[in-house]
Amino acid sequence: MPETWYMIAAVAIGGVITLLLRALPFAILKPLRKSKFVKALGQWMPAGLLVILAVVMLADEISAQPGKLLVVAIASAVTVATHLFAGRRALLSIFAGTTVYIVLLNFF
């Protein structure tokens, strides 16, 4: 069994590393807050990530069920339309699109 000082040192080193890794992004970001690049990332990155997620999910679903392409297209259109016409409420549009998708899958 390792000695007590060895275990205390291991926990202390792990704690310091964890603290530094958690604080590092904030320390780096502080001087960059006024940067145009960081502001542009803040505007475009969420939308870009959602587009990537949507493309991956749709590609997986279409390849898993190639005969259900129309169902996927209709549910996607309902999701987008609900998002645009209901005040950009993400939860509502996701709920509407998922509901339409499940209903169409079960009945067609």
* Shared domain check, 61 and 46: yes
What pLDDT is attached to residue 35?
A: 85
* Shared domain check, 88 and 67: yes
Which residues are within 8 A (CB) of 72 and not within 5 positions of it... i.e. 6 or more apart?
Answer: 58, 61, 62, 65, 101
What pLDDT is attached to residue 41?
A: 85
* Shared domain check, 75 and 24: no
* Shared domain check, 49 and 25: no
Give pLDDT < 50 ranges for the chain. none
pLDDT digits (tens, 9 = 90+) for 42-53: 888 888 888 898
What pLDDT is attached to residue 37?
A: 86
* Shared domain check, 88 and 102: yes
* Shared domain check, 62 and 83: yes
What pLDDT is attached to residue 102?
A: 94
Counting the structural domains of the chain, the total is: 2
Domain that holds residue 63: 35-107
* Shared domain check, 45 and 25: no
